[in-house]
Amino acid sequence: MKKKLLLISLLFTLVSCGQSTNNNVAKNKSPMDNNDILDNDPNLKKLKNYKYEPEYQIEVESYYSYEIKVNDMPLAVQSPPFTKSMLFLANSSILQSGIQSLTITIKPRYNSEETEQKEFLEDPEHIDFKLKVQKTAWVNGILEEPEIILTYKLSDEKIKDITEQKKIHKELSFNATVPFILKGWTNSKVFNLKDSIALEKKVFQKYAEYRQLMLDRKGDAIIRSSLNQRYELMQSFYFKREKVIENRKKYLKEFPNEKFTMAEILDYKLVFYGNNRVLGLVFNDEIEQGQSCLNQITVDENDDLNLSYIKYLLHQPEGSTELEQIR
C-alpha cells in the first residue's frame, strides 16, 4: 500500500480533534455531563468578534524543502511529496499587534522519486524560493483582497557559492495589527537545553497520553484537557461561539465512530520553540524530518494509507509545574 502524507487541517484542530491529556481530566463523562465544554465553557464566553478581523497569510512557492517560523513558533515544515505552492495562516503565532519575527530555513530538495534529499542547494535561477506575507481581513463575513506587505526571493540574495550550501537561514520581520491580545507562551517557563534528556521523557509521556485518548475515542477528555489553548486559537481566527458549540456537539457525537488508528511514536527528537518556552517532538528521519510525531492513520477506498501530522506543542504556564498544550 502506498502511504500518502497529509497535513491535518488547523481549523479541524480548533473545533474537533484534540490535544494533550491532563491528570485532572474527569473520566467516563456521559453526554449529559458535557455542558462544561459546550454552553457553559467560560473560555467560549470570552470569544470576541470584531467589525474588522485581520488575517495574515504566508504564501510560499518552492521545490526546496523548508521550515518557516513566526515568532519562533513553527508555521510550516515542507518536504516531499508536498506541492510547489502553499498558503499558510499565521494568526495562531501572533499574540498581539506589533513587529513579528519571521524565520526561514531553506534546505535542498529531494530527487524525483522523493526518496533521497540532495546534498546541496541549487542555482536559484532555475530552482527559486519565493515567499510573500499578505494581509487580508474579514469584513461582514467577506474576506478582503490580500495586500502584500513583505516579499522574499532566494534569487535576490546573489549568493555566489549557493551550490555549496546545505541550507540557507534568513531572519525577517513584518508588522501586524490585530484586535486581540493573547497570553500564549509569553510568561511560560524558559526551558534549559541542558535538561533535554529529562524534558524529552516528560514530553513523550504527554504525547503518549494524548495518543491513548485518541485510540480510546475520548473526545470529551481531549477537548477538556486543552480549553485555554483552544480559546486562543479560536480567538486568533475569530471563531463565533455558536459555531464552535455546534461543531463540538457534532464532534462528540461522531468521533467515537471514526475509523482510524494512531502511529507509534518513533524516530523522534525534542525541539524547542517560542524562545525556549515551548516544547515538541518531531520526526528525525530523512523524509519526514521536522514533522510532528503524533500521527493519525486512515485507509482510503483504494487501500492507501493516509498519515496526518497532528500539531501538538507544550509549555509550562507561569505558576504551574505541569506541561500543557499551547498550540
Residue-wise pLDDT tens digits, 195-240: 999 999 999 999 999 999 999 999 999 999 899 999 999 999 999 9
Residue 162 identity: I
Supply the pTM of this predicted model.
Answer: 0.85
- Note the Cα 36 to chain centre separation in Å: 26
C-alpha cell at 52: 474588522
pLDDT of residue 300: 85
- For the chain, the average pLDDT equals 88
pLDDT of residue 6: 36
User: Taking 60 as the threshold, does the pLDDT of residue 10 lie above it?
Assistant: no
Sign for the CA dihedral angle at 277, 278, 284, 287 comes to: negative
User: Taking 50 as the threshold, does the pLDDT of residue 242 lie above it?
Assistant: yes
C-alpha cell at 87: 498558503
Other Cβ atoms closer than 10 A to 3: 10
Pairing of strands 3-7, 305-309: parallel
Q: What angle do CA 185, 206, 44 make, to 5 degrees?
A: 50
User: Taking 70 as the threshold, does the pLDDT of residue 19 lie above it?
Assistant: no
pLDDT of residue 80: 67
User: Taking 60 as the threshold, does the pLDDT of residue 316 lie above it?
Assistant: yes
Contact 219, 18 (CB under 8 A): yes
Which of 1, 2, 6 lies closest to 288 in space, CA to CA?
Answer: 6
- The C-alpha atoms of residue 7 and residue 322 are separated, in whole angstroms, by 28
Residue 2 identity: K
